[in-house]
A and B are shown apart, each in its own frame.
Chain A
Amino acid sequence: MQRYWQVLRLFWSTAIAAELEYRLNFVVATLTSLGGLAGSLFGLFLFYRTGYQFQGWSWEAALLVLGTFTMLQGFSAMVLIPNLNKIVTQVQEGTLDFVLLKPISSQFWLSSRVLSPWGLPDVLLGAIAIVYGGTQLGLQPWNYLVALPPLAFGAISLYSLWFMLGATSIWFVKIYNVTEVLRGLLEAGRFPIVAYPTAYRVFFTFIIPVAFLTTVPAQTMLNQSGESWLLASGMLAGALLWLSNRFWRFALRYYTSASS
Chain B
Amino acid sequence: MLQKSLKLSRVMLSVYYAYMVEYRAELLFWVLSGTLPLILMGLWAEAAQGGQFALGPTELVQYFLAVFLVRQFTVVWVIWEFEREVVEGKLSPYLLQPVDPVWRHFFSHVAERFARLPFAFLLGGLFVVLYPDAVWLPTPDHLILGLLAVVMAFCLRFVMQYTFALAAFWTERATAIEQFSFLLYTFLSGMIAPLALFPDAVRAVVLWTPFPYLIYFPASLLTNQGENIVQGFVVMLLWGSVFFALNRWLWRRGLRQYSGMGA
A contacts, CB < 8 Å to B: 22, 25, 28, 31-32, 35-36, 39, 42-43, 46-47, 49-52, 54-55, 172, 174-178, 180-181, 183-185, 187-188, 191, 195-197, 199-200
Query: Which of the residues B26, B183, B199 comes within 8 Å of A39, measured between beta carbons?
Result: B183
Residues from chain B with Cβ under 8 Å of A191 in the complex = 43
Residues from chain B with Cβ under 8 Å of A46 in the complex = 192-193, 197-198
Knowing A25-B173, A177-B29, A195-B43, say if A49 contacts B180 (CB, 8 Å): no
B42 and A197 form a contact (CB under 8 A): yes
B26 and A184 form a contact (CB under 8 A): no
Residues from chain A with Cβ under 8 Å of B43 in the complex = 47, 191, 195-196
A5 to B30, CA, bound (A): 37
A36 to B192, CA, bound (A): 13
A184 and B53 form a contact (CB under 8 A): no
Beyond A180-B30, A184-B32, list 20 extra A-B contacts (CB 8 Å): A25-B173, A28-B173, A35-B180, A39-B183, A43-B193, A46-B197, A47-B47, A49-B199, A51-B51, A175-B26, A175-B29, A177-B30, A184-B33, A187-B39, A195-B46, A195-B47, A197-B46, A199-B42, A199-B130, A200-B39
Query: Which of the residues A31, A52, A178 comes within 8 Å of B50, measured between beta carbons?
Result: A52
11 contacts between A and B (CB under 8 A): A31-B180, A32-B183, A39-B187, A49-B199, A176-B26, A177-B30, A180-B29, A183-B33, A195-B43, A195-B46, A200-B42
Q: Count the A-B residue pairs with Cβ separation under 8 angstroms: how many?
A: 89
B39 and A180 form a contact (CB under 8 A): no
B187 and A43 form a contact (CB under 8 A): yes
A217 to B21, CA, bound (A): 43
Residues from chain B with Cβ under 8 Å of A195 in the complex = 43, 46-47
Residues from chain A with Cβ under 8 Å of B23 in the complex = 174
Residues from chain B with Cβ under 8 Å of A43 in the complex = 187, 192-193
**Is B95's CB within 8 Å of the partner chain A?**
no
Q: From DSSP, what is the main secondary structure of chain A's interface residues?
A: helix
Distance from A171 Cβ to chain B, minimum over Cβ atoms (Å): 10
Residues from chain B with Cβ under 8 Å of A35 in the complex = 180, 183-184
Q: From DSSP, what is the main secondary structure of chain B's interface residues?
A: helix
A184 and B36 form a contact (CB under 8 A): yes
Closest 6 CB pairs of A and B: A52-B51, A39-B187, A180-B33, A200-B42, A184-B33, A35-B183
Residue of A nearest to B46 (CB): A197
**Is B35's CB within 8 Å of the partner chain A?**
yes
Distance from B128 Cβ to chain A, minimum over Cβ atoms (Å): 14
Knowing A42-B187, A187-B39, A196-B46, say if A181 contacts B179 (CB, 8 Å): no
B192 and A181 form a contact (CB under 8 A): no
Residues from chain A with Cβ under 8 Å of B25 in the complex = 172, 175
Residue of B nearest to A183 (CB): B33
A197 to B130, CA, bound (A): 11
Query: Which of the residues A25, A28, A174 comes within 8 Å of B180, measured between beta carbons?
Result: A28
**Is B14's CB within 8 Å of the partner chain A?**
no
A42 to B197, CA, bound (A): 12
A25 to B51, CA, bound (A): 42
**Is B34's CB within 8 Å of the partner chain A?**
yes
A50 and B29 form a contact (CB under 8 A): no
Distance from B1 Cβ to chain A, minimum over Cβ atoms (Å): 39
Distance from A190 Cβ to chain B, minimum over Cβ atoms (Å): 9
A52 and B29 form a contact (CB under 8 A): no
Which of A174, A177, A180, A199 lies at the interface centre, i.e. has the most chain B CB atoms within 10 A of its CB? A177
A22 to B82, CA, bound (A): 21
Residue of B nearest to A55 (CB): B50
Residues from chain A with Cβ under 8 Å of B183 in the complex = 32, 35-36, 39
Distance from A259 Cβ to chain B, minimum over Cβ atoms (Å): 22
B179 and A32 form a contact (CB under 8 A): yes
Residues from chain A with Cβ under 8 Å of B32 in the complex = 181, 184
A204 to B26, CA, bound (A): 23
Residue of A nearest to B23 (CB): A174
A9 to B53, CA, bound (A): 53
A180 to B31, CA, bound (A): 10
A177 to B192, CA, bound (A): 22
